[in-house]
Structure 1
């Protein structure tokens, strides 16, 4: 558990240094190279807990995935890091972040799903106090 928390803290620290124009990501849809995940994978348009996801295909599997709420507001940045790759020493450096403001972080296990089939960790950076609640339903 400590390793996962340390990993999330490292992600947060490197993400803050990643510069981009946040205004182009704040509302759905973001500009290219992002694609809506449900347009390219057999997943629903809105995933409870994550939102409507967009990703740059070149950054898979880690992401960042941009999670938008039902009103199209960017609410979370999500990383999906395969556990086997982490165990084997793969590092994910200089990962982007949707918005630089992060109010909380969740890290949890996922057994796999279309797009990231192997067991992996979800690292979810919420961008405002109500984001987790808005993405839950």
Structure 2
């Protein structure tokens, strides 16, 4: 019986993740997400990242949803302030609203409009390394 309950829970959980990913699969995602370039002075499309959307109430960390030129989701990005990376602060249960994660990149950023303080970009790629080229230019 426990195995059946676990199997049902896993199936339902996987289905919910798939439904959530489907809701943001194409740009623009539904509210509360807003296009970042309409919130701060940034271009509509950032080479290497794509077209970004965020729920403004989650700033500065995000998640930011990144889309390619065709409006397909390519990654979910978190921007974690360096000053918050200490023993007193935790970032628990970070979601991947874009669905399955193929690989993860983590890199430093000195700051930019919208997230001015130094921070880490944690990029959850929903596409393969080869397909990252979709947002290269």
TM-score w.r.t. structure 1 length? 0.82
SS at match of 2:85: helix
* Conserved? CA contact 1:77–1:126, under 8 Å: yes
User: Which structure 1 residue ranges, 5 or more long, are not aligned?
Assistant: 1-15
Determine if contact 1:66/1:77 at 8 Å carries over to the other structure.
yes
- The question of whether the paired residues in 2 share the 8 Å contact of 1:26 and 1:73 is answered with yes
TM-score normalised to the size of structure 2?
A: 0.82
Cα shift at 1:96 = 2.2
| 3-state SS, counterpart of residue 107 of structure 2 | strand
The whole-number CA distance in structure 1 between the counterparts of 2:66 and 2:131 is 10
Alignment of 1:83-94 (within 5 A): 83-87=82-86, 89-94=88-93
2:5 equivalent in structure 1: none
Contact 2:101 2:125 in 1 (8 A): yes
Q: Which residue of 2 aligns with 1:78?
A: 77
Paired with 1:23 and 1:70, the residues of 2 have a C-alpha distance of 18
CA distance in 2, matches of 1:131, 1:34: 24
Q: C-alpha offsets along residues 53-82 of structure 1, whole Å, 9 cap, x if unaligned?
A: 000111111110000000000000000000
Report which stretch shifted further, 82-91 or 29-38. 82-91
Secondary structure in 2 matching 1:123: strand
Partner of residue 109, structure 2: 110
- Which stretches in structure 2 are left out of the alignment for 5+ residues? 1-13
Q: CA deviation at 1:25?
A: 0.2
Residue 98 of structure 2 aligns to a residue in which SS?
coil
Structure 2 matches for 1:55-74, cutoff 5 A?
55-74=54-73
How many residue pairs align between the two structures?
121
1:132 aligns with 2:95: no
